[in-house]
Structure 1
């Protein structure tokens, strides 16, 4: 495998525990809003789309996926000819919970900007969870993040994530799982 393709594979593999939580949260559906209907300056803090259940399910699914990836890494890595990184538990939690917190933070910012639930904010919508995931993972597992997310891998994440985000959201919209395709 060429070095650049290896960089892409490792970058995307490593981000899977951050990519999946928000999708799992959508599938878990509803529940009690985190902000409990509270407002700030007449606007909801977060909105009905950010729930305790979605956050818990999303985080749990992301961590569980990291454990599955750990078990699969030797076989998948051998098949691809690429050494795949493992996920220490603090890194797995950081990626999964951080993704959820990044999305929650973006909702807070959107409400402050006067945007309603589901309104698109290009850039923020595609990278909010990446920033949250990498920041929390760096807090909980700094050495792992420094060794795993090299500058070329970070570049792949920043470039590939918006594309993957659009594709998965359009798919969820077409399946009737989301009200808007972004």
Structure 2
């Protein structure tokens, strides 16, 4: 039962976990804020680009479609229950993850944090909040039935751990300039 719970929770979040990683790899180009400042500080900074946001969102949606295709085989092979992703949920998870990260960047600039500065908690869960909120707006019944309270607990505990591990790996590979 615990394995099925954890597998279902992480599976449901995969389309939200991938977009920010893809954005790091595919980013660059024109910043979303176009260099605008408020109070002498950038709105978002150079790290939030249109290309990265589009690539991350498309990757998350594409992953959800792949997961839909392999779900029956994976669920049977491991004896677990895994959700499928309606397109609206896939878009909500992927785009919501990107918007959550962008919102956190905006907040960090407003409180005087520079690009790359750590804000524990916010850095690990910003995309989760964005993903769940947008998915709730786009696919409410799917979100409420998929993200049960138990699965939400798994997501809120596992995500910071996964975030630390993946960001440290990206830093060690030279893909990020800071390990958080």
Runs of 4+ in 1 over 3 A off after TM superposition: none
Provide the aligned C-alpha RMSD in A.
0.4
Alignment partner, residue 8 of structure 2: 10
| Correspondence list, 1:54-65, <5 A | 54-65=52-63
- Give a deviation string over 1:32-76, Cα, whole Å, max 9, x none: 000000011111000000000000000000000000000000000
- Once residues 142 and 4 of structure 1 are traced to their aligned partners in structure 2, the CA distance between those partners, rounded to angstroms, is 25
Alignment partner, residue 47 of structure 2: 49
SS in 2 for 1:133: helix
Alignment partner, residue 127 of structure 2: 129
- Once residues 84 and 123 of structure 1 are traced to their aligned partners in structure 2, the CA distance between those partners, rounded to angstroms, is 27
Uncovered stretches (5+) of structure 2, i.e. residues with no partner: none
SS in 1 for 2:85: coil
Alignment partner, residue 88 of structure 2: 90
- Once residues 79 and 132 of structure 1 are traced to their aligned partners in structure 2, the CA distance between those partners, rounded to angstroms, is 32
| Correspondence list, 1:63-142, <5 A | 63-142=61-140
- Once residues 29 and 71 of structure 1 are traced to their aligned partners in structure 2, the CA distance between those partners, rounded to angstroms, is 28
- Give a deviation string over 1:147-168, Cα, whole Å, max 9, x none: 0000000000000000000000
Alignment partner, residue 34 of structure 1: 32
Q: TM-score, normalised by structure 1?
A: 0.98
- Once residues 2 and 51 of structure 2 are traced to their aligned partners in structure 1, the CA distance between those partners, rounded to angstroms, is 39
Alignment partner, residue 22 of structure 1: 20
Uncovered stretches (5+) of structure 1, i.e. residues with no partner: none
Displacement of 1:89: 0.2
Count the aligned residue pairs.
Answer: 180
Does 2:167 correspond to 1:163?
Answer: no
Q: TM-score, normalised by structure 2?
A: 0.99
